[in-house]
Amino acid sequence: MVVPALLVALAACTGSTPALIADATPLPPAGDGMPAAAEPLQPGPDEVITIGLRFMPEDITVPVGTTVTWRNGEAIGHTITSGAWGDVNESTGLRGTQSADGLFDHALAPMGQEGDTFSFTFTEPGEYSYFCMPHLTMNARVIVEG
């Protein structure tokens, strides 16, 4: 008596599963806490995207000889300016100091316009800090490994 009853219960449970799935509303894919976008921007290999007044990723590590490309992911201009930055406020993310060193300095056009990408080839190992001149939240590094 016990075994057939259990089989019936399992069958009923299994039988109801497709109906539950069919009734379920599809959930949006889990993100990083970013608002859902029609075309979510993800940096490709050796690529940095400017989005939300940040560089993404803020630290990128590449082998020596790599050409890194920056791509503007929003409708405002940025600069890719090499040089040291520091004294970043932990709560606001704003840097307190900056010092361009002239290795590269490019005005990145808004997304979709001519000049919305910039590439630079790193031929020496080292840590290369850079920032966006007008936006104090935009502070990042390229780490070049030999």
The site for Cu ion (CB under 5 A) is made up of 78, 132, 135, 138
Q: Which of 145, 76, 141, 142 is nearest to 111 (CA)?
A: 76
CB within 8 Å of 19: residues ≥ 6 apart: none
- Min dist CB 74 to Cu ion, Å, is 9
In the complex with Cu ion, which residue's Cβ is closer, 78 or 95?
Answer: 78
CB within 8 Å of 131: residues ≥ 6 apart: 79, 81, 83, 85, 95, 98, 138, 139, 140
In the complex with Cu ion, which residue's Cβ is closer, 54 or 62?
Answer: 54
In the complex with Cu ion, which residue's Cβ is closer, 95 or 135?
Answer: 135
Residue 56: count other Cβ atoms within 10 Å of its Cβ: 19
In the complex with Cu ion, which residue's Cβ is closer, 128 or 131?
Answer: 131
- Min dist CB 124 to Cu ion, Å, is 26
- Min dist CB 108 to Cu ion, Å, is 8
Residue 25 to residue 92: CA distance in whole angstroms: 38
In the complex with Cu ion, which residue's Cβ is closer, 71 or 78?
Answer: 78
CB within 8 Å of 33: residues ≥ 6 apart: none
- Min dist CB 55 to Cu ion, Å, is 9
- Min dist CB 136 to Cu ion, Å, is 9
